[in-house]
Amino acid sequence: MPERTDHPQADEALRRAQGPDAATRRLLAQIIKRLTTVHPSGAIDDSRRLSLALRYATEAHGWDTPAANAAEQDLLRYMPRIHSDITRGEYALRLRKAGGLTAPGSVLTTDPKPRPGGVVREPATLAACARDYAEAADARAALADAARRRGNAS
């Protein structure tokens, strides 16, 4: 039988749909900044995701405190698991989406002729996104090449 402190699935789904609270958003933003400024083309795996959540929760609330444990769980709730080869920059984009955070420098404006959604991204932001996507594709190709070379070297 589940403990009284367990959240029913419907409650958990509603909580995720509402998005993270302000403290969790702030920690997610710090993690995103770290991922995009320090080796953004480097690979990241699931163990690194777990260590990032622990590190930033601990820095914010102290070592092994109830607040740090709760913050770590809140972070992990919005940090998608990593199942394949991915760069730190790509994972930062996923975190932005999962946490409901907008991309840095993105400016949303209302289109004079509304389209579905009524919002248009500025051309400079679209160009930056296209560059990021191209760089991520290059990084994925480099990772695949390195993996092939390691497989041939063994």
Whether residue 9 lies inside any domain: the answer is no
Q: Are residues 77 and 126 in the same domain?
A: no
Q: Whole-prediction pTM value?
A: 0.58
Whether residue 7 lies inside any domain: the answer is no
Residues forming a β-bridge with 67:
none
Q: Are residues 83 and 139 in the same domain?
A: no
Q: Which domain holds residue 89?
A: 19-100
Whether residue 74 lies inside any domain: the answer is yes
Q: Are residues 91 and 131 in the same domain?
A: no
54: its two tokens: 């622990």
Counted domains in the chain: 2
pLDDT per residue of the chain (154 residues) written in tens, 0 to 9: 455 566 566 665 555 556 788 899 999 999 999 999 999 999 999 999 999 999 999 999 999 999 999 999 999 999 999 988 899 999 999 999 888 876 555 433 333 344 444 444 455 555 666 677 777 778 888 888 888 888 776 5
Q: How far lies 116's CA from each of 71, 110, 119, 120, in Å?
A: 36, 11, 8, 10
Q: Last residue of a domain, which of 56, 84, 100?
A: 100
